[in-house]
C-alpha cells in the first residue's frame, strides 16, 4: 500500500505561524519557539511577498525558491500552496510518484472532502474551466473530478492559468484522515491524467526557476534541523554533505533509476542481477519485491504482531545489519536505525512488499520512499533526465 507523505509550508510566515494550529491548537510559531528553533527558521526561510509578481516583469532573473516542510512523526510531510484571486491556501502532498495537481472542491461531498478545506471556483475571479473530467487511482485512494485553470502560488512562485483538478468524489478512507487535502505531482508530464500540464513544467516553460530541476530534503523528527524542504530551480547546499552521485532516469514517466545490487551487511544479497527503483516522496516506506522482502524479514528476525505489522525486538536494533543500495557504482547505505521505525516502545520494520515487475522490463522492482530519502538528499534534474543523491545532513 502506498503511504502518502505530508508537508506544511508557510507562504507568508508571519501570518501562517499565528493562524495555522498544530498539535492541540498550538501554532507553528509557538512550537518552534518552544523548541528554540524559531530564530534560525525565520533567518533561513525569509519570504519576499513580491515574488508572486515576478512573472509580470520582463527580464526578471529567475531564482531558486525554497519551500520549507514540517515533519509529522517521521511518517507524514505536508505543505501549503495558494490558489485563486484572492488567494486561498490548501495543504497538499508533494509527490514525485504522480504528476497531477488537485484539491477538494465544494462539489465533493465525500467524507474525505468534508474533512478538508474545499476550493470554491465561484470565489476566484481568475478561475476558468473547459469542463474536462479526469480520474486518478493511487496506490491507496482514488478520485474523480474536472479540470480548471487558476493562479497557483508555490514557494512564492506565482503561476497564472495553471491547470489543476477539482475533485468531485473521493471514495474510501485513504484521504479522509490525512493532514493534506490534495496532491501536487512532480513526476513527468507523460504520467499526468488527462494530459494536464504539471506545475513544474509550467515553472520551466515560464522561466520562473533558474534551472530545470528541483530537490527534496526530508528531515528526521529528532533532528534540530528544519522538518524538510523542496527547492525549486536548484539545490540547497546546506542540506547535504559530500559529492552528488548522478544516475540517468530510465523512463521519462516516473523518476525510475537503475540499481546494480542491494547489499545486506555489506554482502550482495538482493537485486544481484540488477534491478530498478522508483524514487517516490509519496511512499512513506521502502518497498521490495515480495520474495526478497520475505528473505530480509527472516534475516533480521522480524515477526508479525497482532496488528499484522512486522516488528523486531527494540533491544536488537543496534545489532541489525545495514542495507546498501549500489547506484551508479556508489554505495548508498542506510543503517538499521533508519529502516526500523521506533514509536512508543514498538520497533516496526519500515518495509512493505510489491508484486509489480519493473516498469521497463520484467525484473525486481523497488520503491525508494521516505525511509531512504531521509538519509539522502535527492535531486530531480529534468534538464538532463537524471537524478542525484547526496548524504543528507
> What nine digits make up the cell of 130?
473547459
**How far is residue 39's CA from residue 198's CA, in Å, rounded to a whole number?**
35
Q: Using CA atoms, how far apart are residues 50 and 268, in angstroms rounded to an integer?
A: 53
For every residue of 9-60, DSSP letters joined together read: --SSHHHHHHH-EETTTEEHHHHHHHTT-HHHHHHHS---GGGGGGGGSTTP
Query: Rounded to the nearest 5 degrees, what angle is found at the Cα of 17, between the Cα atoms of 392 and 218?
Result: 15
Distance CA 122, CA 100 (A): 22
Distance (Å, rounded) from C-alpha 152 to C-alpha 203? Answer: 11
How long, in residues, is the chain? 393
Residues 184 and 158: their CA atoms lie apart, in Å, by 15
Question: One of 66, 150, 280, 370 is an active-site residue; which one?
Answer: 280
Cα-Cα end-to-end distance for the chain: 29
274 burial level (CB within 10 Å; 0-12, 13-18, 19+): middle
DSSP 78-146: EEEEEETTTTEEEEEEEETT---EEEEBTT--SHHHHTS--B-GGG-TT-EEEEEEEEEE-SS-EEEEE
CB 66 within 8 A of CB 236: yes
Concerning whether 95 is annotated as a catalytic residue, the answer is: yes
Residue 358 Cα distances to 78, 143, 250, 253, 388, angstroms: 29, 25, 11, 13, 21
Contact 167, 101 (CB under 8 A): no
- At residue 93's C-alpha, the angle toward residues 346 and 237, to 5°, is 85
* Residue 42: all three cell numbers together: 525565520
Taking the CB of residue 130, how many other CB atoms lie within 10 A of it?
A: 9
- Active-site hit among 66, 95, 150, 370: 95
Active site residues: 95, 280
Amino acid at each position: 500500500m502506498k503511504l502518502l507523505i505530508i508537508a506544511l509550508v508557510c507562504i507568508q510566515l508571519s501570518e501562517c505561524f499565528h493562524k495555522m494550529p498544530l498539535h492541540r491548537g498550538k501554532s507553528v510559531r509557538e512550537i518552534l519557539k518552544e523548541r528554540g528553533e524559531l530564530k534560525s527558521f525565520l533567518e533561513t526561510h525569509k519570504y519576499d511577498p513580491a515574488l508572486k509578481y515576478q512573472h509580470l516583469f520582463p527580464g526578471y532573473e529567475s531564482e531558486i525558491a525554497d519551500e520549507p516542510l514540517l515533519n509529522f512523526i517521521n511518517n507524514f510531510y505536508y505543505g501549503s500552496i495558494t490558489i485563486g484571486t484572492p488567494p486561498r491556501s490548501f495543504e497538499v502532498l508533494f509527490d514525485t510518484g504522480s504528476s497531477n495537481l488537485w484539491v477538494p472542491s465544494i462539489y465533493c461531498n465525500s467524507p474525505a472532502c468534508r474533512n478538508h478545506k474545499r476550493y470554491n471556483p465561484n470565489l476566484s475571479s481568475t478561475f476558468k474551466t473547459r469542463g474536462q473530467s479526469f480520474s486518478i487511482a493511487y496506490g491507496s485512494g482514488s478520485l474523480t473530478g474536472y479540470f480548471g485553470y487558476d493562479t497557483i502560488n508555490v514557494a512564492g512562485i506565482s503561476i497564472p492559468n495553471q491547470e489543476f483538478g477539482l475533485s468531485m468524489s473521493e471514495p474510501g478512507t485513504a484521504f479522509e484522515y490525512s493532514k493534506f487535502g490534495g496532491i501536487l505531482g512532480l513526476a513527468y508530464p507523460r504520467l499526468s491524467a488527462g494530459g494536464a500540464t504539471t506545475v513544474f513544467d509550467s515553472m520551466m516553460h515560464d522561466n520562473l526557476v533558474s534551472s530545470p530541476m528541483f530537490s527534496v530534503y526530508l528531515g528526521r523528527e529528532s533532528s534540530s534541523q528544519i522538518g524538510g524542504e523542496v527547492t525549486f530551480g536548484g539545490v540547497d547546499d546546506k542540506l547535504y554533505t559530500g559529492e552528488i552521485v548522478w544516475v540517468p532516469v530510465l523512463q521519462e514517466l516516473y523518476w525510475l533509476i537503475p540499481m546494480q545490487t542491494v547489499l545486506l551487511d555489506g554482502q550482495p544479497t538482493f537485486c544481484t542481477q540488477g534491478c530498478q527503483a522508483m524514487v517516490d516522496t509519496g511512499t512513506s516506506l521502502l518497498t521490495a519485491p515480495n520474495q526478497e522482502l520475505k528473505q530480509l524479514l527472516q534475516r533480521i528476525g522480524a515477526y508479525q504482531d497482532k496488528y499484522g505489522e512486522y516488528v523486531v525486538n527494540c533491544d536488537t536494533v543496534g545489532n541489525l545489519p545495514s542495507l546498501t543500495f549500489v547506484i551508479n557504482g556508489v554505495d548508498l547505505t542506510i543503517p538499521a536505525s533508519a529502516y526500523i521505525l521506533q514509536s512508543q516502545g514498538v520497533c516496526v520494520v519500515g518495509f512493505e512488499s510489491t508484486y509489480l515487475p519493473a516498469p521497463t522490463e520484467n525484473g525486481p522492482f523497488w520503491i525508494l520512499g521516505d525511509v531512504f530519502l531521509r538519509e539522502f538528499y535527492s535531486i530531480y534534474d529534468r534538464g538532463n533526465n537524471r537524478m542525484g543523491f547526496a548524504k543528507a545532513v
